[in-house]
Amino acid sequence: MKTTSFLFALATAASLVLSGCSNQSETTEASTATTDEHAGHDHASSDAGGMNHDAAGAGSGMMAAMHANMQAMEAEKPAGNTDHDFAHLMMAHHQGAVAMADLQLKNGKDATLRQMAEKIKADQQREIAELERVATRLDGAPSNYNPNNPADPFTQKMKASMDLMMADMPRETGNTDVDFAALMIPHHQSALAMIQAELDHGRDTKLKEMAQKMMAEQKKEIEQLKAWQAKNGGATAKPTAAVYECTMGCEGSTSNKPGKCPKCGMDLVKKA
């Protein structure tokens, strides 16, 4: 099984995101300090919730972690067994949440969100280990769906869950606390869609029991994140304008609303 090498590669990518974010922050801070010394006054900025940005014009790194996570999931090669493939994809998905939690613990200031990040990281690292054992047990399990058939119900639902993670994506504000809350919500919502696909089509009893527990916990965390947003002024950026496109890349399929591709008849998917 190639899970260990894949997770190592994903962890390496996450560490590069953290390193790049750290270097960018240090450079920005040094530049700001030099400017302040010569200008003789402070430079401050705040978002709608009244919280300072980590650095003027600097991103929090959350969006980069989301995109790295999506690329890692798309690189997964399904075997054709619903339980086996769900376990592998959810491990990759969890690694994305761990990377985002690491960014929050590294740069976030809000005590409530830091506590949530610690719990998310601990829970999902534990679940990764459990999923690893399940995936190993299911290596070589007989095929029960067609991952190459876009019309296959499980394939459709897993594809839709990944599209959901990147649809209506809020713009990164540069404030780690705000971005962690805003982007962890769609990340969790994507996980819920994946879990529902497993509950609908999976056959492994133990894995489905685990999926039920994950669903309950992530639903609770979504509500906690939304409550934090409400308490802090709902300081989330409006999503960028969405475009709907055919996943097959058919010419003339682009639309500003959902529907069917006029060429092949497949559902149009929202792109951020």
List, for residues 158-183, the tens digit of each pLDDT value.
999 988 887 767 888 999 999 999 99
Q: How far apart are CA 30 and CA 36, in angstroms?
A: 10
- Give first-to-last CA distance, the chain, whole Å: 34
pLDDT at 262 over 80: no
The counts of H helices and E strands in the chain are 7, 2
**Strand segments (E) across 4-155:** none
Given this model, what pLDDT does residue 260 score? 80
- The pLDDT, as a whole number, for residue 164 is 83
**Distance between CA atoms of residues 59 and 174, nearest Å:** 4
CA–CA separation, 226 and 217 (whole Å)? 14
Predicted pLDDT at 251:
63
- Residue 135 buriedness (CB in 10 A; 0-12 / 13-18 / 19+): buried
Task: Give yes or no for residue 20 having a pLDDT over 70.
Answer: no
Residue 11, pLDDT > 60, answer no
pLDDT at 47: 37
Which range, 27-36, 247-256, 257-266, has the best average confidence (pLDDT)?
257-266
pLDDT value at residue 100: 96
Check: pTM over 0.75? Answer yes or no.
no
CATH superfamily for domain 3-239:
Ferritin, core subunit, four-helix bundle (1.20.1260.10)
Q: What is the pLDDT of residue 21?
A: 43
Higher pLDDT, 185 or 50: 185
105-159 confidence digits (pLDDT tens) = 999 999 999 999 999 999 999 999 999 999 999 999 999 999 999 999 999 999 9
Domain boundaries along the sequence of the chain: 3-239, 241-272
The reported pLDDT for the residue numbered 261 is 76
The fraction of the chain above a pLDDT of 70, given in percent, is: 70
